[in-house]
């Protein structure tokens, strides 16, 4: 079973939520609204939507958003928020690769490192499902810090992070044969300890370009930040934009 299917619950889930600020969410939603050329009444697909921090913002701007996430806890939270606010959001619990979708959508996005969840033999299927559910000319935006050009120049084997009241110990190993970072994660909070194992598969930009093209998507822009700076070797974040033919 893929690691991410059982990862997002308990302290890891709370830590991810606590790490996102309202200001960050608003800036990212502004970025998405701009680069995806969104407007009122457009249909937007949020892939690995989490608790819907971007979906809620974009729906509040008039978009009709469909969010998909593996975490039933997050999806339940998003559905409750959508009901209370009356926003146009459909929340689907399930694995994106097998989740039923009612495309085509005008645009799609996947934010938060989820691009690295898929092994090399599954990435094409992931991208093909995105392309199949986009209208011709539809745009797709992705955000990841787990690209080879970002991770490998300064690979960190061990590190501590404080996320609100949760302390996180990260111990990483690079699996050369699989081009994969194996992460052993320990979460500490009020005397409680939870451990998880995560696997992030690294792709070079050249490899991604080839896979995107094979799926029917053309990468048009690559940024290192929300201001639109060009991505360069060693930058910690890659924001890419692709268009369906």
- Looking at residue 7, what is its pLDDT? 87
Q: Are 65 and 89 a contacting pair, CB within 8 Å?
A: yes
- Looking at residue 126, what is its pLDDT? 95
Q: Residues 65, 78: one domain?
A: yes
Q: Comparing 12-26, 34-48, 82-96, which segment has the lowest mean pLDDT?
A: 12-26
Q: Residues 86, 192: one domain?
A: no
- Looking at residue 5, what is its pLDDT? 82
Instruction: Average the pLDDT over 23-51 and give the result.
Output: 95
Q: Are 230 and 223 a contacting pair, CB within 8 Å?
A: yes
Mean pLDDT of the chain: 94
The Cα 9–Cα 20 span in angstroms is 16
- Looking at residue 213, what is its pLDDT? 97
Q: Residues 52, 70: one domain?
A: yes
The Cα 7–Cα 198 span in angstroms is 8
User: Domain range for residue 73?
Assistant: 3-146+203-244
Task: Tally the domains of the chain.
Answer: 2
The Cα 199–Cα 119 span in angstroms is 9
Pairing verdict, β 43-47 and 238-244: unpaired
* The dihedral sign for the CA sequence 17, 78, 45, 107: negative
Q: Are 12 and 185 a contacting pair, CB within 8 Å?
A: yes
Q: Residues 14, 128: one domain?
A: yes
> Three-state SS for 162?
strand
Residue 104's Cβ-count burial label (10 Å; 0-12, 13-18, 19+) is: middle
Which of 199, 217, 236 is the last residue before a domain boundary? 199
- Looking at residue 112, what is its pLDDT? 82
Q: Residues 179, 99: one domain?
A: no
- Looking at residue 215, what is its pLDDT? 97
**pTM for the predicted model, two decimal places:** 0.93
Q: How many CA atoms lie within 13 A of 124 on its CB side?
A: 8
């Amino acid at each position: 079973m893929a690691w991410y299917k059982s990862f997002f619950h308990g302290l890891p889930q709370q830590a991810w939520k606590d790490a996102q600020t309202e200001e960050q969410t608003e800036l990212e939603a502004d970025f998405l609204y701009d680069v995806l050329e969104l407007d009122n009444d457009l249909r937007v697909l949020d892939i690995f939507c989490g608790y819907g921090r971007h979906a809620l913002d974009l729906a509040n701007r008039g978009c009709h958003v469909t969010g998909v996430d593996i975490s039933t806890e997050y999806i339940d939270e998003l559905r409750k928020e959508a009901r209370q606010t009356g926003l146009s959001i459909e929340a689907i619990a399930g694995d994106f690769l097998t989740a039923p979708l009612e495309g085509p959508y005008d645009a799609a996005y996947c934010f938060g490192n989820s691009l690295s969840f898929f092994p090399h033999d599954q990435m094409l299927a992931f991208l093909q499902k995105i392309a199949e559910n986009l209208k011709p000319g539809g745009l797709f935006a992705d955000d990841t810090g787990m690209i080879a050009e970002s991770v490998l120049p300064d690979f960190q084997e061990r590190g501590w992070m404080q996320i609100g009241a949760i302390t996180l110990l990260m111990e990483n190993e690079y699996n050369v044969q699989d081009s994969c970072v194996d992460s052993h994660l320990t979460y500490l909070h009020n005397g409680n300890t939870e451990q998880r194992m995560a696997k992030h598969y690294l792709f070079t930009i050249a490899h991604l370009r080839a896979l995107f093209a094979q799926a029917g998507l053309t990468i048009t822009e690559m940024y290192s930040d929300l201001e639109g700076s060009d991505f360069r070797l060693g930058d910690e974040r890659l924001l890419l934009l692709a268009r369906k033919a």
